[in-house]
Homo-oligomer: A and B are copies of this chain.
Amino acid sequence: MTVTTQVRVRYAETDQMGVVYYANYLVWFELGRVEFLRTLGFDYSLMESVEGCILPVVEASCRYRSPARYDDPIRIEAFPLLLRGSVLKFGYRILRESDSGVTLLAEGETVHVVCDRSMQRRALPDPVAGLIRSAIAEHNAK
């Protein structure tokens, strides 16, 4: 199961090379991750404030294939890759949609440790854990 989020490149996200500054792809990854959880029925802002369940990032990586430019329509694809104990891994693909087709701009992963409010490892709450496991199984079956 892959969840898709659409954004347009903001002027603030470009740099003087005329392309999107490289750190901003990690912001897009986060937008995709949050929409993925929302699609499963989980609101990350409530998970954090009500359940006290937070997902700090312990690892992030990105391979940049082709630059994104100002005002480009961007498609963010996010999908879970692994859930083992408190460790949760997401994958991402960043694409540009245009009349001439879809171009892959970047790919990446983030690894998270599920924590409680005092930053101790905990398990992911049950309904979301099961749904993420199903999504991983589905993704691997493709």
A contact face: mostly helix, strand, loop, or mixed: mixed
Bound CA–CA A11/B112 (angstroms): 15
- Do the beta carbons of A27 and B16 come within 8 Å of each other? no
A21 to B92, CA, bound (A): 18
A contacts with B, residue count (CB < 8 A): 36
Q: Which residues from B are CB-within-8-Å of A71? A: 34, 43-45
A19: chain B residues at CB < 8 Å are 16, 56
Distance A21 CA – B21 CA, assembled complex (angstroms): 12
Known: A12-B21, A16-B15. A70 touches B45 (CB 8 A): yes
Query: In the complex, which of the residues B11, B27, B59, B69 contacts A30, with contact meaning CB atoms closer than 8 Å?
Result: B11
Considering only residues 94-120 of chain A, those with a C-beta below 8 Å from chain B are none
Known contacts A21-B12, A22-B26, A71-B44: A61-B61 contact under CB 8 Å: yes
Complex: A34 Cα to B9 Cα, angstroms: 11
Residues of A within 8 A of B (CB): 10-12, 14-19, 21-24, 26-27, 30-31, 34, 43-45, 48, 54, 56-64, 67, 69-71
A-B pairs, 4 with minimum CB distance: A61-B61, A23-B26, A14-B16, A45-B71
